[in-house]
Structure 1
Amino acid sequence: MNTNAPTATTTRPRPFTGKEFLESLRDGREIWIYGERVEDVTTHPAFRNSARMLARLYDALHEPTTQA
């Protein structure tokens, strides 16, 4: 018997919200660019726009119009 098979009580993992995604990036990872250590990838000019764009994509997953 396959114990990993989905059941009626099994729930699917919920994707991050945009806020949760941005918070997940603030986990102490070490990032360097041009010899400078990046303290917060979500606010550094080299990365913030990409981080915000991905956060918006995560938020879109939670909009009613994108729900199955």
Structure 2
Amino acid sequence: MDASPLAGNTDANAYFTVTANGADSAFCTHVERVRSKEDDYTPPGIMGGEGTYTELGYRLTVTTREGTC
């Protein structure tokens, strides 16, 4: 299986043509990443108070259609 990225892909919007050795079909897979502040996570601090580091949250949407991109 091979997923070839298209030129011009970004961190937030990417397309890949997915093929498999010996298969007659190809599929176009689109991955969209959207920043989601409501999904951020800040673990508690060492002393139990609020932490100082926040892991940023994102939501992913993936769609696939038959054929190359």
Write 1 or 2 for the structure with the bigger share of strand: 2
Q: Which has the higher contact order (CA 8 A, sep 6+)?
A: 1
User: What TM-score bracket applies, with the shorter chain setting the length?
Assistant: under 0.3
- Structure whose alpha-carbon radius of gyration is higher: 2
TM-score by length of 2: 0.27
Which structure has greater helix proportion? 1
